[in-house]
Amino acid sequence: MKTVYCRPKCMKEAHFHYCPGCGHGVITRLIAEVVDEMELRDKTICVAPAGCGMLLYNYFDIDTIESAHGRGAAVATGIKRVRPENLVFSYQGDGDLAAIGTAEGFHAANRGELISVIFVNNGVYGMTGGQMAPTTMLEQVTTTSPAGRDSVLQGHPVKICEVYATLDGTSYLERVAVNKPAAIIKTKKAIAKAFRHQQQKTGFSLVEILSPCPTNWKMSPLDSCRWVDDVMTKVFPLGLIKETKKC
């Protein structure tokens, strides 16, 4: 008998607190798999966000530090500058990186800090009950945009990857999704690539992951996976946005 798939070694036995069908669970697992495969369990430091991913330290059996809301990139900068031999990544949602932490993320990218950011984009503030986020799409209904997001009143969705691509400090930016098996495999490769960019000191790397949020989108898990393909990828096109050097 051959084991084809089992739990990654750098995950603890704790059960996830995420809602059924949430993309966070897949992303957490993929990071653990990449860390296992790169054999960096002892050298990796994770910076956990405020938001749905805040309990990451319960799931990862790697060193994890909790940052203040939105300050993940700033905390990761500090750790990386003090301990350049470690692999440092921050895990941030759209409320964390694109709203309250805009300055920290943007300027860490502009300085070309040698950190990786895993940016989970689900278009809403998940943990607080599905309010409108900067990444909410036009006409998307949330609890604070019940008639749908209106560009006149509430502005346009923020495309973090495209904004960061204009900065000289960034070396690797890719947008991926976790809504179907092929996309999940691509996401894992993108995370591994971001970590390799960090190891080779090419600059700031960020992977934006479109992740389903069935509870706050008020859909079934399967419908939310389809909605990522049908609606979200039209606004946030998948693919490699920027890579300065092949890694």
Contact positions vs another protein (CB under 8 A): 1-8, 11, 15-16, 18-26, 29, 180-181, 184-185, 214, 220-222, 225
Name which of 4 and 153 has its Cβ closer to another protein. Answer: 4
CA gap 138, 148 in Å, rounded? 7
For the bound state, the minimum distance from the C-beta of residue 192 to another protein, rounded and expressed in Å, comes to: 15
Name which of 19 and 68 has its Cβ closer to another protein. Answer: 19
Retrieve residue 205's tokens. 């790397």
CA dihedral 186, 192, 196, 199 (to 10 degrees): 160
The CA distances from residue 225 to 3, 26, 55, 114, 211, in Å, are 28, 13, 24, 32, 8
DSSP bridge pairs for 172: 205, 243
Written as one letter, the residue type at 224 is S
For the bound state, the minimum distance from the C-beta of residue 184 to another protein, rounded and expressed in Å, comes to: 5
Nearest to 7 by CA among 59, 54, 52: 59
Name which of 33 and 113 has its Cβ closer to another protein. Answer: 33
Rg (CA), the chain: 17
Name which of 122 and 171 has its Cβ closer to another protein. Answer: 122
Three-state SS sequence of 70-87: CCHHHHHHHHHHHCCCCE
For the bound state, the minimum distance from the C-beta of residue 20 to another protein, rounded and expressed in Å, comes to: 4
For the bound state, the minimum distance from the C-beta of residue 12 to another protein, rounded and expressed in Å, comes to: 11
Q: What is Dmax (Cα atoms) for the chain? A: 61
Count of CB atoms situated within 10 Å of the CB of 155: 13
Name which of 29 and 149 has its Cβ closer to another protein. Answer: 29
Name which of 33 and 104 has its Cβ closer to another protein. Answer: 33
For the bound state, the minimum distance from the C-beta of residue 86 to another protein, rounded and expressed in Å, comes to: 25
Residue 5: burial class (beta carbons within 10 Å; 0-12, 13-18, 19+) = exposed
For the bound state, the minimum distance from the C-beta of residue 9 to another protein, rounded and expressed in Å, comes to: 12
CA gap 156, 225 in Å, rounded? 23
Name which of 14 and 103 has its Cβ closer to another protein. Answer: 14
For the bound state, the minimum distance from the C-beta of residue 3 to another protein, rounded and expressed in Å, comes to: 6
